[in-house]
Each structure stands twice: as C-alpha cells, then as structure tokens.
Amino acid sequence: MKASTERQIMRWIHIILSIPMVDYIYAVAKRPDEAFATKFVFIPVTILSGLWMWKGHLFRNLLKRSTH
C-alpha cells in the first residue's frame, strides 16, 4: 500500500470516528447505552489512529529493524 493511500485511510478513520465523540460530549445523558461504545471503541480507535498518523513512521522503522 502506498504511503499516501495509507494516510488517506487513517485520516478518514480518524475523522469519522471522532463524530460520535462530539455526540457523546453533548448528549450522553440522553443515551447512556451508546456511551459504552463511545468510551471503549470510538475513543481508543481515534487515539490510536492519531498516534499512527503522528508517529507511525517510527513504529514501522522498529518493525523493519526487528525483522533483520
């Protein structure tokens, strides 16, 4: 996969999964059953995708070094 394609995919995952967090902040009292999915799925995946976009190149370099 090309680096630009990977960046586009990660960017859209990050943007799309951030939308439920805004809803969680403003409407959690109205729908507490959706709070579980937001807390334990959307927020961690958004954080991980952000970290991957920020420092993913370092992780890939570590994987390349460990395989040789």
Higher-confidence residue of 43 and 68: namely 43
Write the pLDDT tens digit of every residue in 12-62. 998 998 888 888 888 765 777 778 888 898 889 999 989 988 998 898 888
pTM for the whole structure? 0.70
Q: What is the crossing angle of helices 3-27 and 43-67, to 10°? A: 150
Q: Look at residue 28 in the predicted model and tell me its pLDDT.
A: 64
DSSP state of 29: T
Closest C-alpha among 15, 4, 10 to residue 53: 10
State the pLDDT at residue 68: 66
Torsion from C-alpha of 19, 24, 25, 27, nearest 10 degrees: 120
> Residue ranges of the domains in the chain?
3-67
